[in-house]
Structure formats: C-alpha cells, structure tokens
Amino acid sequence: MEIKSVGVVGAGQMGNGIAHVMALSGYDVQLNDVNQEALDKALSVIERNLDRQVSREKITQADKEAAMGRVSTTLEISELGQADLVIEAATEREEVKHKIFESLVPHLKPETILTSNTSSISITRLASRTDRPEKFMGFHFMNPVPVMQLVELIRGIATDGDTYDACHAVVEKLGKTAASAEDFPAFIVNRILMPMINEAVYTLYEGVGNVRSIDEAMKLGANHPMGPLELADFIGLDTCLAIMNVLHDGLGDTKYRPCPLLSKYVEAGWLGRKSGRGFYDYRGDTPTPTR
C-alpha cells in the first residue's frame, strides 16, 4: 500500500522529531498526546527546528510553511484511526505501549500499518497484543530525528513482506537509510551502544577516571563526537537503564548487568539534560561534571 498519512503517538523529543521529518517529506501528520501542553510545545519545537534548517539553507521558507501546514494535533488517540501508518513513540515502558495499542486498535482501518519506535522492546511481543501482528513492526528512529540518517526496521516473527516493503519505502522517501534488524533485545544500535555507555559508568564507578577524563578519552582517543557519559545524559539515564534491563533480562548474560551507579542516578532523578542534572550539571552557563 502507498502511505500518505501518518499518525504519531507521543509528542516528546522523538515524537515531534518524527512528525517533523514526515511532514517535511510530504506526509499528512496527526500528532497525539495525552497532554495539550506537550502538543503545544511539540509544535513550537518543530517550527524552531524547521527555522534552523531554513537559516542553514537546507530547506526553503516555502518548504517550512508547507510542512507546518501538514501537522495537526489531537488529544484523542481514536482520531489517528484513519492514518495509513501509525508510529508509537511513547516512553520506553512496555506496559505503557500495550495500553496505547489497546486503546488505538479498535479505531484502525484494516489496512493500517502499526509500528513502534521502541529502542529495545520485543516487536513480536508488542505485536501479539494487537489484532494485526502481520502488519506490525519496529520503526526505530535515532535521536535527534531530523539530523540522524539511520532508521532501524525490525520485523517481528509475524511481520509480512508487504508491511516491511511499505515501511522501507517511507524511510527512502524521508531521505534516510534503513538498517534491517532481527527481533532480539535492543536490536543493532543499542545492543552495541548501551553496553559501551554502561561500561563507561562502571569506569566512573570504579574510580578509573572521572567524568571529564572518561569523555575526553573517548572523544580524542576513539574519535567519538560526544563522550559516552555526555551521550548518556543526552539520551536520558532512565532510558539507558531501561535498555540495559531489557538486555540483561532478555539475554540473561551478566555482561549486561546495569551499573549500580547508573541505577543510583536514576533513583535520584538525575536523568541527564532533561532533568537538569546527570553526569553533568546543566543548571549553570556551562555543563559541570557531577563526579
């Protein structure tokens, strides 16, 4: 099927980024959230990011205005039912995702493709709780969505070929590159990235280096654009911990055990940039290491 309209569930950092790139590529987008304030903020973030692209001459003013005109918002998840493709981009908690799909499925057209932007949770398991496991798959964008070029496409055990082909065509229309992944915990990117971040936290926990020396070592010694602890703060320490728990539970290997210090930061509510403190304190003019 040709996809023309897209519903996005969740207006946070990932959801507004997905709405941005979809609208810019010509899709009609409905963005849903349970909070009107989140929807209003998402629209302002999308407009600000489009303005940045205009100022850098990546797009024209006309492109920006057309994209903004294709985005609408709704507090009612049922209004996404007529979309050709729905992308769930809510928080990385499985029980939340199940509740979203349960409330959404009764309103969907029979041909609608249902997807999740999950970064680690089993696609097969999520699909099994819907009425369309053959039309369900993982559609995992990288953060920040307008900048990052990769999309992981993850097939569940029941996902059919037409669904995969339709989603692959969407990725191509977005001008991004698709990486096909099998449905194993955390897929490709986070299966490799999160244990590296977790090991960086262990390196801090054991006193091998401090926050600044660990990040500088990886930036200058491994040519990473961002140090692992800085990157963890950008992603969100709660998200990092959730993915490590999925890896540990799903694969049963002690090498995926989350570092106790990562758990401690999350317990303290120090989740990174979004909460103002993580491995760095962002409340001043410049980020300052917290250890």
Q: 99-120, pLDDT tens digit by residue?
A: 999 999 999 999 999 999 999 9
Instruction: Write out pLDDT tens, residues 87-102.
Output: 999 988 899 999 999 9
Residue 1 has pLDDT above 80, yes or no: no
Residue 143 is labelled as binding a ligand = yes
- Is 11 flagged in the annotation as binding? yes
66 vs 25: CA distance, rounded Å: 10
Measured in residues, the chain has a length of 291
Domain boundaries, the chain: 5-182, 189-289
User: Which string of b and e fits 163-176 if b means at least 16 CB within 10 Å?
Assistant: bbebbeebbeebeb
CATH of 5-182, one of 3.40.50.12780, 3.40.50.720, 3.40.50.300, 3.20.20.140: 3.40.50.720
**Residue numbers annotated as active site:** 119, 140, 152, 190
Choosing among 3.40.50.1100, 1.10.1040.10, 1.20.58.220, 3.40.50.300, the CATH entry for 189-289 is 1.10.1040.10
Q: Is position 62 annotated in a ligand binding site?
A: no
Amino acid at 58: K
146: cis peptide before it, omega within 30°? no
What's residue 92's pLDDT? 87
| Structure-token pair, residue 55 | 């100022």
Does this model's pTM top 0.85? yes
Q: Is 14 annotated as a binding residue?
A: yes
State how beta strands 177-182 and 150-155 pair. Answer: parallel
Instruction: Check residue 106 and give its pLDDT.
Output: 97
In angstroms, the Cα distances linking 247 to 141, 159, 257 are 19, 22, 8
